[in-house]
Every structure is written in structure tokens, then in C-alpha cells.
Amino acid sequence: MNTADHNRQKKIAAINDFSGFGRCSLAVELPVISHLRVQCCPVPTAVFSNHTGFQSYYFDDYTDRMRSYIAQWKQLNLRFEGITSGFLGSAEQIDIVTEFIEEFRDSGTTVIIDPVMGDNGKLYGTYTQEMREKMKRLVTLADILCPNVTEACFLTDTPYQAAGWKRSQLLEMARQLAGLGAQRVVITGIEMKQSIGNAIYQKGGEAKIISRRRVGATRSGTGDIFAAIIAADAVNGVDFEASVRKASGFISKCIAATERRGIPATDGVCFEDVLHQL
């Protein structure tokens, strides 16, 4: 078969871990991206039986196999309209993602980076200072950057505050993130009393905050769903602000459906119930 035949459909390379239970990372990215009519090509960084929010889990680190896995894609001469990365478990994995972007990116590729580093003002326990510095370099390769507030603070060296953010502070931080290289930035999951906000900025445009009324409790996997929608929409040419509004609205529907079922917080959101509405 001519290798060009592999590139007749839009594709996104999704670099993330795989959790068999808990509805997060690749397990939600794959169906969401596929539903939006883009082929999702996973690059697993690790395999979990269930995510780390549970008391115990099986874990298989995939770092030493990632380069051999990716080498086969080079032989197939694959090209990607989108490259997205999520949780990276080591400094070496950040290096591998950097190499992947440099190898596969071309003028028609959009790079979407969700710099999964921490939450609630703290880095994750596995995150080292070396990883923090390498992530700061990796995000300079992003076309679209979608950190949460904690990650935005670490990337811009801004002091974290749990509450009381002024709109001007958040919008300035979004502009600073764009100054690192991304054309489009969204700071996700901003606590705004009865609402959840997203601060967005596009170079050459106006910075703004989009908010939506809070529905239910915070749950795992919502950031992965958000990033998957942003990635697929970018590849499909959807307006960035419209995509952010769609992603936040869809997650609200997911959480509402999950609350109706009384699903434990560890188990993610029942996106299956509302995927047809995306």
C-alpha cells in the first residue's frame, strides 16, 4: 500500500496515559475525538488499571517503549493535523514529546498542550523541579495551551491564590502564557463563587473570561475531555472561543448526567450518556 493512503483522513496524535477504569486520559480522549470525526491515534505513556485517585492501582510505565512505538509511525510516514499531550510522568517523557513534535509537526499541524502539573496551588507529588523546567520549555512549542490556574501560576511564576482573583490578574496571566509562544490560551477551571470560568486569549485579540454556572462536584477526567474537544475543534477549523464554550457546556452536561446516576467521584463523568449531544 502507498504510505500516502494513511494520510487521507484528519488525525490527532494523543500522548497520554491509559487508565482502564475511572474515565480519564486516553480512555475519554479517544471516543470524544473520534465522535468529532477525527481519527485519534494514541501514544501511551503508561498503563493504569484505574487512575491514581483510587487507594490502589496497577501501573506499568511505558517510557522505555515509547520511542520504538513512535519509530514505527515514522516508517509509515504518518502525518498529523493535531498533536496533543496530557499527563507526563517523567522528565524523559517530556523529552520524548518534544522530539515527537519536532519530528511530526509540519505547517498543517496544530499542537495542543495540557501541561498537567498540579492543582490547588501545588505540584503533583511525582513532579520534580527538572520536570517543571522541561515543561516550561515544552509549552513554548504549543499552538494552543490549556492549563488550569495552578499550572498557569507555575508557568508564569505567579503567586497562587485559592480565591479572590481579579479578572485583570487572570487575563494578564493568559497574555503572559501567550508570550511563551502559544497563539491561543485558555486557563481552565477558575473558581468564581457559583460559576466556573475559563480565561481565554488569542494573539491579536481581546482577552476575556467565559463563565458557566457550576453543576455538581469536581470530578476526574473533565480536563481530558475539555482538551480533547479543543484539539478536535482546532483540527476541524472551529472558532476558538466557540470551542471553549462548547467544551465547558458539554462538561456541564456530563457532570449533571453523572450526578443523576449517583456515580462516585473517583469514577469520572458519564460522558457516554450525552456524547450524542456534542
The identity of residue 45, as a single letter, is T
Q: What's the rounded Cα separation, in Å, for the pair 223 and 24?
A: 8
Count of residues in the chain: 278
Which domain does 226 fall in, by range?
Answer: 8-269
Q: Which residues of 116-146 are buried (b: 16+ CB within 10 A; e: fewer)?
A: bbbeeeebeeebeeebbebbbebbebbbbbb
276 within domain boundaries: no
Q: Encode pLDDT of 47-102 as tens digits.
A: 999 998 899 999 999 999 999 999 999 999 999 999 999 999 999 999 999 999 99
| CATH number of the domain enclosing 123 | 3.40.1190.20
The answer to whether position 68 is within a domain reads: yes
Does 117 fall in a domain? yes
Domain contains 1: no
Alpha helices by DSSP H, listed for 145-271, are 149-156, 167-179, 222-235, 240-261
Count of domains for the chain = 1
Contacts within 8 Å (CB) and 24+ apart, 235-243: 235/10, 235/12, 235/38, 235/81, 235/82, 235/110, 236/10, 236/36, 236/37, 236/38, 240/144, 240/184, 240/186, 240/200, 240/202, 241/200, 241/202, 241/208, 241/210
Residue 45, in any domain of the structure: yes
Does 160 reside within a domain?
yes
pLDDT in tens, 118-141: 998 999 888 899 999 999 999 999
What's the predicted TM-score (pTM) here?
A: 0.94
The stretch 148-177 carries a mean pLDDT of 93
DSSP for 243-271, written as a single string? HHHHHHHHHHHHHHHHHHHT--GGG---G
Answer whether residue 277 is part of any domain: no
Using 50, 70 and 90 to split pLDDT, how confident is the model at 4? low
> What DSSP element (H or E) covers 113?
strand 110-113
CA neighbours closer than 13 Å in the CB half-sphere of residue 140: 6
The answer to whether residue 57 sits within a structural domain is yes
